[in-house]
Structure 1
Amino acid sequence: MNSGDGDGRTGRTVGAVARIAKVTVRTLHHYDEIGLLSPRGRTPAGYRRYDEADLGRLQRILFYRELGFPLEEIAAVLDDDSVSPSEHLRRQHQLLTDRIAHLQKLAAAVEHAMEAEKMGIQLTPEEKFELFGEHYREEWETEAEQRWGSTGAWAESQRRTGGYGKADWERIKAEGDALNARLVEAFTAGEPADGGPATGLAEEHRQQITGNFYECGHEMHCCLAEMYVADPRFTAVYEQLAPGLARWLHDAILANAARRTGGQA
Structure 2
Amino acid sequence: MADTPGAGGLTVGQVSARLDVTVRALHHWDEIGLARPSLRTAAGYRLYTPADLERLHRVVVYRELGLGLDRIRVVLDDPAEDVPAALRAQRARIAERIDRLQRLGAGLDRMIDAHERGPLLTAEQQAAVFGPGWDPDGPARARRRYGDTPQWRQYAERSASRTPEEWQAVADAVAELDRALGEAMDAGVTPGSPEADHLAERHREVFASYFPLTRQMQVCLARMYEADPGYAAHYDGIRPGLARWFRRVVDAAARAQGIDPSTATWCESP
4+ residue runs over 6 A deviation: 114-117
Q: Secondary structure at the match of 2:125?
A: helix
Pairing 1:234–2:227 present: no
1:261 aligned partner: 258
Distance (Å, rounded) in 2 between the aligned partners of 1:243 and 1:122: 33
Paired letter, 2:186: T
Q: Is the 8 A contact 1:199 1:256 kept in 2?
A: yes
Q: Tell me the TM-score normalized by structure 2.
A: 0.52
Quickly say closer, same or farther: Cα 1:116–1:126, change in 2 above 3 A: farther
Paired letter, 1:158: A
1:180 aligned partner: 178
Paired letter, 1:249: F
Q: Tell me the TM-score normalized by structure 1.
A: 0.53
Q: Is the 8 A contact 2:115 2:153 kept in 1?
A: no
* CA-CA distance at 1:170 after TM superposition: 0.7
Q: Is the 8 A contact 2:126 2:134 kept in 1?
A: yes
1:143 to 141, 147, 150: 141
1:136-215 aligned within 5 A: 136-210=134-208, 212-215=209-212
Quickly say closer, same or farther: Cα 1:202–1:136, change in 2 above 3 A: same
* CA-CA distance at 1:180 after TM superposition: 1.5
Listed as ranges, the gaps of 5+ residues in structure 2 are 1-111, 265-270
Distance (Å, rounded) in 1 between the aligned partners of 2:158 and 2:183: 31
Write the deviation string for residues 213-260 of structure 1: whole angstroms up to 9, x where unpaired. 211111111111111111111011111111111111111111112212
Q: Secondary structure at the match of 1:203?
A: helix
1:219 aligned partner: 216
Q: Is the 8 A contact 1:129 1:136 kept in 2?
A: yes
Paired letter, 1:223: C
Distance (Å, rounded) in 2 between the aligned partners of 1:143 and 1:120: 10
Distance (Å, rounded) in 2 between the aligned partners of 1:132 and 1:186: 23
Q: Is the 8 A contact 2:191 2:197 kept in 1?
A: yes
Between the two proteins, what is the percent identity of the paired residues?
30
Q: Secondary structure at the match of 1:134?
A: coil
Quickly say closer, same or farther: Cα 1:140–1:147, change in 2 above 3 A: same
Write the deviation string for residues 85-143 of structure 1: whole angstroms up to 9, x where unpaired. xxxxxxxxxxxxxxxxxxxxxxxxxxxxx987723312111221122123211222122
Distance (Å, rounded) in 2 between the aligned partners of 1:119 and 1:158: 8
Listed as ranges, the gaps of 5+ residues in structure 1 are 1-113
Distance (Å, rounded) in 2 between the aligned partners of 1:148 and 1:235: 19
1:241-256 aligned within 5 A: 241-256=238-253
1:120 aligned partner: 118
Query: Aligned-pair RMSD on alpha carbons?
Result: 2.0
Moved more, 149-158 or 253-262: 253-262
Paired letter, 1:228: Y
Q: Is the 8 A contact 2:118 2:139 kept in 1?
A: no
